[in-house]
């Protein structure tokens, strides 16, 4: 399996630090509003990476944080006249709802910055002890950027460029910094803001320190993969490397993965530019599975432009897979229980070739665009080769293959039809009559048929009751 590593700027063979295990950290959202679909891109992409790794047999420890202390959260809290935690808790809940709709699995751990302050104070203390950080007169603690030799290795910038020509890359300087490149680890509180006590001042952390600390706590000093959107490469991830490697004395992450932007009219979708749709907006018009399909239809390192036409195309593509599975289910309802014929066995082997193609695409830096193309080829193959004459075993085999590949993409393609109440009642009545007539075989058949459709029967003194499983 090859992964493009931002650190080396090339695709590298994936070799985990520990055999069979993957330690992966993905920078999560700042929770002050509903997430927009640009924020959803890294969530979908890295959830798919996780699913594929698990499919390959790795045990993945997946950590993704919620940034729940930040200027924007505090501003909103002041506007609403509530505590900052009311805002962050509200939007964490909403974010989890969106994640569920997008079939993004919860992380192994979802730490929150405000619950990890102790670890941050420890790491800042260590950095000061080792000479990599210092406290200014007002209690602000800065990281001494030039003290870390590797600074710039991820974003491929050198310190002189940062210091000299390109001023837009400078971390905004305040007079009390030793050097304009130094960045904040801890800052004094302002009126009305949440704060924590520390040896330097009552205050709150800078943004970057939380990820170094949570990654260390939940995954250890060295991890396999660290990921996020490409806007995080500089300064966020560069600063995380500086903090973690300076504090721990070990290399931080082996592979750095970054997704390209989701754009709209070729501009990055963002809250600040106001050119965004929330996941919730999209859910009013589309099944969120269509949004997931849309995101995966491009390679994660290619910019993706959001448009109504592309969403329609995604809807059609997704529907093609759903229809194929539903046709297979229809055929399966009446298929004979006989085993696969020799001819079917040969066809089944041929179908396996599409899984191999899918894997090949995913092994090449998670090329989901090509992987989905392989799913389409499989769908076409099924549409051509499956019919009412086929054995149950053959049809089931094809269905399982489509479901497996779709599931790796996190796409739910089998729509479980809910039975109508009147149909359930009619079958229950038929079962009662069969029992009266001592036709227990038919009565059992009906019970099983209902069970297969998720309806559980319970015989009580007051008669038969049913519930959806």
Site of interaction with ligand AMP (CB under 6 A): 27, 29-30, 38-39, 41-42, 228-229, 231-232, 259, 261-262, 268-270
In 3-state terms, what secondary structure has residue 232? Answer: helix
Cβ of residue 321: shortest distance to ligand AMP, in angstroms?
25
Instruction: Choose from Zn ion, ligand AMP, none: what does 270 bind? Cβ within 5-8 Å by kind.
Output: ligand AMP
Contact 162, 181 (CB under 8 A): yes
Cβ of residue 212: shortest distance to Zn ion, in angstroms?
8
Instruction: Choose from ligand AMP, Zn ion, none: what does 211 bind? Cβ within 5-8 Å by kind.
Output: Zn ion
Query: What is the sign, positive or negative, of the torsion defined by CA atoms of 441, 446, 447, 451?
Result: positive
133 scored as a contact of Zn ion (CB under 5 A): no
Count, residues near Zn ion per rule CB under 5 A? 2
What single-letter DSSP state applies at residue 330?
A: H
Cβ of residue 27: shortest distance to Zn ion, in angstroms?
3
Q: Which is nearer to Zn ion, 99 or 427 (CB)?
A: 99
In 3-state terms, what secondary structure has residue 393? Answer: helix
Q: Which is nearer to ligand AMP, 27 or 298 (CB)?
A: 27
* Interface stretch with Zn ion, choices 120-128, 209-217, 361-369, 418-426 (CB under 5 A): 209-217
Q: Pairing mode, if any, of strands 2-5 and 10-13?
A: antiparallel
Cβ of residue 228: shortest distance to ligand AMP, in angstroms?
4
Cβ of residue 80: shortest distance to Zn ion, in angstroms?
26
113 scored as a contact of Zn ion (CB under 5 A): no
Q: Which is nearer to ligand AMP, 48 or 406 (CB)?
A: 48
DSSP output for 65-107: -BB--SHHHHHHHHHHTS-HHHHHHHHHHHHHHHHHHTTPPPP
121 scored as a contact of Zn ion (CB under 5 A): no
Q: Which is nearer to Zn ion, 65 or 289 (CB)?
A: 65
Cβ of residue 43: shortest distance to ligand AMP, in angstroms?
8
Cβ-proximal residue to ligand AMP, closest one: 229
**What are 178-184's contacts with CB under 8 Å, separation 24+?**
178/134, 178/142, 178/144, 179/144, 179/145, 179/146, 181/145, 181/146, 181/151, 182/142, 182/143, 182/144, 182/145, 183/142, 183/143, 183/145, 183/208, 183/235, 183/239, 184/140, 184/141, 184/142, 184/143
Give the separation between CA 172 and CA 166, rounded to whole angstroms. 12
The phi and psi torsions of 324 (rounded to 5 degrees) equal -60, -45
Instruction: Choose from ligand AMP, Zn ion, none: what does 29 bind? Cβ within 5-8 Å by kind.
Output: ligand AMP
211 scored as a contact of Zn ion (CB under 5 A): yes
Contact 342, 391 (CB under 8 A): no
Cβ of residue 214: shortest distance to ligand AMP, in angstroms?
14
Q: Which is nearer to Zn ion, 98 or 238 (CB)?
A: 238
213 scored as a contact of Zn ion (CB under 5 A): no
Task: Show the tokens assigned to 56.
Answer: 């390959």
Burial class (CB in 10 A: 0-12, 13-18, 19+), 54: middle
Contact 85, 105 (CB under 8 A): no
- Identify residues 13-52 at the interface with Zn ion (CB under 5 A): 27
Q: Which is nearer to Zn ion, 48 or 244 (CB)?
A: 244
Q: Any idea how long the chain is?
A: 469
Q: Which residues here bind Zn ion, judged by CB under 5 A?
A: 27, 211
């Amino acid at each position: 399996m090859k992964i493009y590593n931002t650190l080396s700027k090339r695709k590298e063979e994936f070799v985990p630090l520990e055999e069979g295990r993957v330690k992966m950290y993905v920078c999560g959202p700042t929770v002050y509003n509903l997430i927009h679909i640009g924020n959803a891109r890294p969530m979908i992409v890295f959830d798919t990476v996780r699913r594929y790794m698990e499919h390959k047999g790795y045990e993945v420890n997946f950590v993704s944080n919620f940034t729940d202390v930040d200027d924007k959260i505090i501003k909103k809290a002041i506007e609403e006249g509530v505590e900052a935690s009311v805002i962050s808790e509200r939007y964490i809940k909403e974010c989890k709802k969106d994640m569920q709709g997008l079939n993004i699995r919860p992380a192994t751990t979802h730490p929150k910055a405000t619950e990890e302050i102790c670890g941050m104070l420890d790491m800042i203390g260590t950095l000061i002890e080792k000479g990599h950080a210092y406290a200014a007169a007002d209690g602000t603690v800065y990281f001494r950027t030039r003290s870390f030799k590797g600074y710039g290795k991820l974003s491929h910038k050198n310190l002189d460029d940062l210091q000299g020509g390109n001023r837009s890359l400078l971390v905004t300087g305040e007079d009390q910094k030793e050097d304009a490149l130094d960045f904040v680890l801890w800052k004094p509180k302002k009126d009305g803001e949440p704060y924590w006590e520390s040896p330097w001042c009552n205050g709150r952390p800078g943004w970057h320190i939380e990820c170094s600390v949570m990654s260390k706590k939940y995954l250890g000093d060295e991890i396999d993969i660290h990921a996020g959107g490409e806007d995080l490469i500089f300064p966020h991830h560069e600063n995380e490397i500086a903090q973690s490697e300076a504090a721990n004395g070990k290399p931080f992450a082996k592979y750095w993965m970054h997704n390209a932007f989701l754009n709209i009219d070729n501009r990055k979708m963002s809250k600040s530019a106001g050119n965004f749709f929330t996941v919730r907006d999209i859910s009013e018009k589309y099944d969120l599975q269509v949004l997931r399909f849309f995101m995966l239809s491009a390679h994660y390192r290619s910019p993706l432009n959001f448009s109504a036409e592309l969403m329609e195309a995604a809807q059609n593509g997704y529907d093609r897979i759903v229809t194929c599975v539903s046709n297979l289910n229809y055929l399966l309802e009446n298929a004979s229980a006989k085993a696969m014929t020799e001819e079917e066995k040969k066809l089944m082997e041929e179908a396996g070739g599409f899984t191999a193609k899918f894997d090949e695409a995913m092994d090449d830096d998670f090329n989901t665009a090509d992987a989905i193309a392989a799913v389409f080829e499989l769908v076409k193959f099924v549409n051509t080769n499956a019919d009412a004459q086929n054995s149950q075993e053959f049809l089931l085999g094809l269905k399982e293959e489509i479901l497996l590949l779709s599931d790796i993409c996190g796409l739910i393609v089998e729509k479980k039809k809910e039975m109508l109440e009147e149909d359930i009642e009619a079958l229950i009545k038929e079962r009662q009559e069969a029992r009266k007539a001592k036709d227990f075989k038919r009565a059992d058949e009906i019970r099983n048929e209902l069970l297969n459709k998720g309806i559980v029967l319970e015989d009580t003194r007051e008669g038969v009751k049913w519930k959806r499983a």
